[in-house]
Amino acid sequence: MELDRERSLPLPESPAAERNKRPILDVLKRVLPPSGTVLEIASGTGQHAVYFAEALPGLEFQPSDIDEASLDGLRARRDLAPLPNLAPPVVLDVRAPTWPLASAAAVLCINMIHIAPWAAAEGLLRGAAAILPAGGPLVLYGPFLRAEVTTAPSNVAFDQSLKARDPDWGIRRLDEVTAAARVHDLRFDELVEMPANNLIVVYRRG
């Protein structure tokens, strides 16, 4: 576990982020534009932001979160890895009518829409569409339910546990997310099967 050298406190870490960062990066290398700003939504511990910024020096990474504790950890982790293409984190509530960035070449959201109300997913789609250029990607990672695919038992149990914590949470149906994206002229572009019954779903601004 990394330490915040200034305070000698351990930084928060996510084992899942550590496991999935390499497979996600392999897809991002292909679907992200070669340059520009990538806005990461719900950056959490910052492990992804640091790893991706280091691996993709041609892109500027802008981490964000709504949670103050996460923002503190993001700042501390960035201070330990002062990469020139990793911006200080910003406060961002996806449900807000305007976001702190007026434009971005790509928007990345990992493991967020199932642990937030559906209004957050709608806000993400609306906000991403407002700041992306034509053809710009919105990249989502996480578990999804698909009508044509039998849901893995682990995802069924996970979905039940999420709803037990908050009835507004839960693994989202991919067709419903895609329909909501279409309202904002975000067109389904690609689906990539990922480890541990997760998916990467890419939408592009029309």
Q: How far is CA 89 from CA 6, 65, 156, in A?
A: 18, 7, 34
Query: Averaged over 141-149, what is the pLDDT?
Result: 95
- pLDDT exceeds 50 at position 4: no
Query: Averaged over 14-28, what is the pLDDT?
Result: 96
Q: Residue 82 has what pLDDT? A: 85
Among 4-8, 22-26, 95-99, 169-173, where is mean pLDDT lowest? 4-8
Q: Residue 166 has what pLDDT? A: 97
Residue 98 to residue 130: CA distance in whole angstroms: 9
Q: Residue 122 has what pLDDT? A: 98
Burial 83-117 (b: 16+ CB within 10 A, else e): eebbbebbebebbeeebebeebbbbbbbbbbbebe
**Do 193 and 141 meet the contact criterion of CB atoms below 8 Å apart?**
no
Q: What is the percent of the chain where pLDDT is above 70?
A: 96
Number of domains in the chain: 1
Q: Give residue 53's domain range.
A: 3-205
Q: What is the pTM of this model?
A: 0.94
Q: Residue 69 has what pLDDT? A: 85
We report the CATH number of the domain holding residue 133 as: 3.40.50.150
Identity of the amino acid at 48: H
Longest dimension (CA), the chain: 51
Q: Residue 30 has what pLDDT? A: 98
Q: Residue 1 has what pLDDT? A: 47
Residue 98 to residue 16: CA distance in whole angstroms: 30
Query: Averaged over 125-153, what is the pLDDT?
Result: 96
